[in-house]
Chains A and B, each alone.
Chain A
Amino acid sequence: MTLAGGGGTARARTRIDVEVAARVIGPVWPLRSFIAVNPLDGLVEIGFDAAVAQAQRWLRARCHPDLGLLRAARHAGRITDDDLRASVLARHPSLGDDEVAAFLSELLERPVARPPAVPRTAAERCDERLGTHLAVTVDAMVATWCAAFVDEGAAAWPMPGRSEGLYRAWRRLAPHDPGLRRLAGRQARAELRHLSEHPEDAIVEALDDLGVPPESYRDELRGQLCRLPGWTGYARWREDWAPPDEPAPRFSLVDLLAVRLVHERLAVRAAGATPRAVVRAIHSQPVGQEPDDHAAVWLDAYERHYRDELLATMARPTPASSIRRPVAQLVCCIDARSEGLRRHLEATGDYETLGFAGFFGMAIRFRPLGATDVRAQCPVLVTPGVSIEERPIPGQERLAERHLARGETAAAAGSAFHAAKTGTGAAFTLAEISGWVTGAAAAARTLRPRRRVRAERRSRPRTAPTVDANADGLGFTLDEQVLYAETALVTMGLTGGFAPLVLLCGHRGRTTNNPHASALDCGACGGNPGGPNARVAAAILNRSEVRSDLRERGVDIPSRTWFVAGEHDTTTDTVEILDRHDIPPGLAGAVAAFERDLAQAARRLAAERVRVLPGGRVRRPAAHAAVRAHDWAEVRPEWGLARNAAFVVGPRAMSVGLDLGCRTFLHSYDPAVDPDGTALETILTAPMVVAQWINAQYYFSTVDPDVFGGGDKTQHNAVGGVGVLLGGGGDLRAGLPTQSVLDGDDPYHEPMRLLTVVQAPLERITAVVDRNDVLRHLFDGGWVTLAARSHPDAPWQLRCGDGTWAQWQPAVRGDDDMEVPV
């Protein structure tokens, strides 16, 4: 129930105060659809420098690479003194030579320090004054309530009243919480029985009681949220990003803050503090954060070196392609891991490759055969509009029933095993009784991975996605199919020159016993395997009615062309052809030859990729990759998107023949078929935004794994299907696990902000950027560097912060590097 008038106004104000306070913390997706996201996404509008200043103050985070990494990069030639000098001058153009030298000298000696911790909450201020440990005590208690509340079916006895939200469910139980009685004394029980019904009212009452003046509400709320950034991030996802039919109970920022502030208020009072005096005294102190100029120069130089190398490489003429008519075309996801597959395939024969967001323009809700859950298979920026189910093709219904029955039996056994495992007494005896069976099964899974995968494939019935609109409300109408097909083809610039075979290749990771498994799947498919989208897109593009309508719109797909769906397993580097039963028999030979070359390319990629994995210098890299995928104790099955650095938009001729080291997102684009810039706008506002999120997640997880990272996988405990804890309790850990970005203590990922490179008319790029706030914020706010050229022979231009273009000038490469210890 809501109240009109003054109560409603105050509550509306509190809601906004909370929303603004939470912007310093990014949303955290649940594990089942974990996707990389910019942890500072809520602050994109204020620019990188201001955003990291906020994060330094409120999250106590390091936001730039540490000096050890930078000195090592300089030692390895990844940053030169010319880069540093150019970066100093870029930030301080008025400095003379002597001043630049003095700046550099200081720069090379001074460490990048973590900023001093300033108390952020009432409990922290009491701790500082009184030597108590109230803040960590409140953290632990609130985190325990959060974990109990969000449980997604793991607990045998769920928390009652969850449909009313965290605050009201907790309010009912709080008077009986022995922990609260220990914290606040028995007298607090009466107070707990009379807490406000509305969480907004409870927040304001607690703030007033703690002596926080209204003008400091947002700061206090922000400080409170920053004590538990993981749970705050999960609340942001639940409020802002979860689908309307999300089954998990509503978990809101307002509820989280109300519960936390009641704890804090009771704890501070019980500690005998005089909060009004403490809070007022502290709030009167100005808290400033000086921008770290040195750290910014280091980072700029680090990025400049990579940028200069990439632009110089792509400025050189690429080897003239001898392919006049490719035997086949491979369309991969823009994912940086696809660059290796494309490069190696092109080296095997007359193949053309293209890059496109791995959902292939098909924003669908997909239910796999026999599954109860439905996956949103599209970027999280889009709401999927069409539902698709996987169903057996005619004649395969009985096989499908048997397959599903086997699955149900296995699921029932798994459920019973899980129940026994989580039972208080049964867990101990279960280990004794079943250990010899489960241990052998686990060993078999690890040692015979390929055999297991082949056996699984053999037992599956033939299926197809319900592409055409049907009476069940599933599928696309013909008009929708034509529209989606045209958008996909025009956006990737594939409107002519079709080969007889076009493989639409989604991708997935394959790992065992890995809560973060979905982080290795396709980000453009919402953290899911991309195979279903490839199947749907291929089916649509093979429809004769669709092709007929496309022809009227100027996209003429020859009748001899056939689209095939596939899936690249990025952990084992294997490519599986999907829906073989759909392929015309006459193309069997061509498909077989294509598969042979794909297998060869994948083996070469596996050899290249495994070599840089710890423990990966082995004689049989492909077999080693397969073992890593199925080893239930493997903490680093693959490096994922580590070292991603650039997003390249343009024809493949820009980069063909270059080894880009699986560091670039490659999006195909043909300016000639996009005169009004619609395709370019789509590419920059969707795939590039997703790439920037990925880039920022890797960046921040590397520069401060303690604040932004997911922690050590060996200590993870999954909680309620929503996230992981380190050990038995505490805050939810957001971000990428340590093993995704670090090799031991040393970063494997090179933390640098995204470089976007576009080949298109500059005026078109400017028009697209200027009419989209999100692009202006990213390019002009220092989150992404934009380099562009109008055509292959034009010099590269860099977009400046004021929206103008300046011709790219690489840092002068000299041999006068200073002698400074590294």
Chain B
Amino acid sequence: MTRQSLTPMTKVEVVVTGDDLPALREVFAAAGATGYTSVANVSGVGHHGFHQGRLAFNERDALTLVITVVPDDRAEAVLAGVQLLLADRPGVMFVSDTSVSRPEYFR
């Protein structure tokens, strides 16, 4: 398989608290994303210092990394929604070009 045989798409990665996951899912659905992958209990250092990732009995206030891949023509909708969500909530978003082998899964 060569890279030329893959289909270019946009990958959006978002780190939010568990509290904001439902809103993020709403944005993805409204923007036409067909799915996502989430990695619970991530931790790290940001401009507010160390953020605890894993809490024994509280998933709502732990951090989650959510990854979605969308065709380029849907990327703007995802980005607009996530930017609005993060306007007054903690979290970060990373956007990058990517390639997928099964484009029909993402349309």
Contact = CB atoms under 8 A, between A and B. Distances in A.
Interface stretch (A437-445, A469-477, A668-676, A771-779): A771-779
Contact of A16 (B52, B60, B85): B85
A381 B57 contact: yes
Contacts of B71: 4
A703 interface: no
A15 B30 contact: yes
Contact of B60 (A8, A11, A20, A381): A381
B11 interface: no
A378 B56 CA distance: 12
B96 interface: no
Given A13-B81, A771-B51, A773-B90, A682 B30 contact: no
Interface in B1-56: 17, 19, 22-23, 26-27, 29-32, 49-52, 55-56
Q: Tell me the interface secondary structure of chain A in the complex.
A: helix
A240 B76 CA distance: 25
Interface in A190-227: 200
Interface string A764-793: 000000111110000000000000000000
A760 interface: no
Interface in A13-55: 13-17, 19-20
Given A4-B32, A685-B55, A773-B17, A12 B61 contact: no
A703 B51 CA distance: 35
B55 A681 contact: yes
Contacts of A254: 26
Contacts of B73: 4-5
B22 A773 contact: no
Contacts of B90: 773
A379 interface: yes
Contacts of A5: 73-74, 76-77
Contact of B23 (A8, A14, A19, A383): A19
A487 B56 contact: yes
Contact of A13 (B51, B74, B80): B80
A292 interface: no
B32 A382 contact: no
A569 B50 CA distance: 43
Contact of B78 (A12, A382, A678, A772): A12
A623 to B, nearest CB: 39
A685 B41 CA distance: 14
Contacts of A16: 23, 26-27, 81, 84-85
B55 A15 contact: no
Contacts of A678: 56
A808 B88 CA distance: 34
A689 interface: yes
Given A13-B84, A363-B57, A8 B77 contact: yes
Contact of A8 (B32, B49, B50, B56): B32
B44 to A, nearest CB: 11
Contact of B30 (A14, A363, A771): A14
A239 interface: yes
Interface residues of B, number: 33
Contacts of B30: 2, 8, 11-12, 14-15, 200
Nearest to B28: A12
Nearest to A773: B90
Nearest to A17: B84
A770 B50 CA distance: 8
Most B C-beta atoms less than 10 A away, residue of A4, A16, A378, A379: A16
Contact of B22 (A9, A14, A239, A487): A239
Contact of A357 (B29, B31, B57, B80): B57
B45 to A, nearest CB: 10
B57 A379 contact: yes
Interface in B63-96: 71, 73-74, 76-78, 80-81, 84-85, 88, 90
A686 interface: yes
B77 A382 contact: no
A177 B58 CA distance: 45
Nearest to A22: B23
Given A2-B29, A9-B31, A382 B80 contact: no
Interface residues of A, number: 41
Contact of A686 (B23, B26, B56, B74): B56
A174 to B, nearest CB: 23
Interface string A681-694: 11001110100000
Contacts of B32: 2-4, 8
A239 B31 CA distance: 17
Q: For A8, A361, A678, which residue has the most chain B Cβ atoms within 10 angstroms?
A: A8
A145 to B, nearest CB: 22
B8 to A, nearest CB: 15
B33 to A, nearest CB: 8
Contact of A19 (B17, B49, B76, B85): B85
A491 B55 CA distance: 13
B52 A772 contact: yes
Nearest to A357: B57
Contacts of A772: 52, 55, 61
A9 B58 CA distance: 32
A772 B32 CA distance: 33
B40 to A, nearest CB: 9
A685 B85 contact: no
A20 B84 CA distance: 10
A772 B26 CA distance: 26
Contacts of A383: 59
Contacts of A20: 84, 88
A672 B55 CA distance: 21
A382 B50 contact: no
Most chain A CB within a 10 A radius of its CB, from B29, B50, B61, B76:
B61
**Residue among B52, B58, B78 having the largest count of chain A Cβ atoms under 10 Å:** B58
Interface in A406-420: none
Contacts of B88: 20
A669 to B, nearest CB: 14
Contacts of A200: 30
A554 B73 CA distance: 57
Contacts of A15: 23, 26-27, 30, 81
B49 A773 contact: no
A357 B58 CA distance: 13
Contact of A12 (B27, B56, B59): B27
Interface in A216-251: 239-240
B56 A682 contact: yes
Contacts of A771: 49-52
A489 to B, nearest CB: 13
Given A2-B32, A4-B74, A685 B50 contact: no
Nearest to A687: B57
Contacts of A8: 30-32, 74, 77
Contacts of A14: 30
Contacts of A379: 57-58
Interface of A: 2-5, 8-9, 11-17, 19-20, 200, 239-240, 254, 357, 361, 363, 378-379, 381-383, 487, 491, 678, 681-682, 685-687, 689, 770-774
10 contacts: A4-B32, A4-B77, A8-B31, A12-B30, A12-B84, A14-B30, A240-B22, A381-B57, A682-B57, A774-B58
Given A15-B81, A363-B57, 16 more contacts: A5-B77, A11-B77, A12-B78, A14-B30, A15-B30, A16-B27, A16-B81, A19-B23, A239-B26, A379-B57, A383-B59, A681-B56, A682-B56, A686-B55, A773-B51, A774-B58
Q: Which 10 A-B pairs have the closest CB atoms?
A: A12-B81, A8-B77, A686-B57, A11-B30, A9-B77, A16-B84, A2-B32, A774-B61, A682-B56, A240-B22
Interface of B: 17, 19, 22-23, 26-27, 29-32, 49-52, 55-61, 71, 73-74, 76-78, 80-81, 84-85, 88, 90
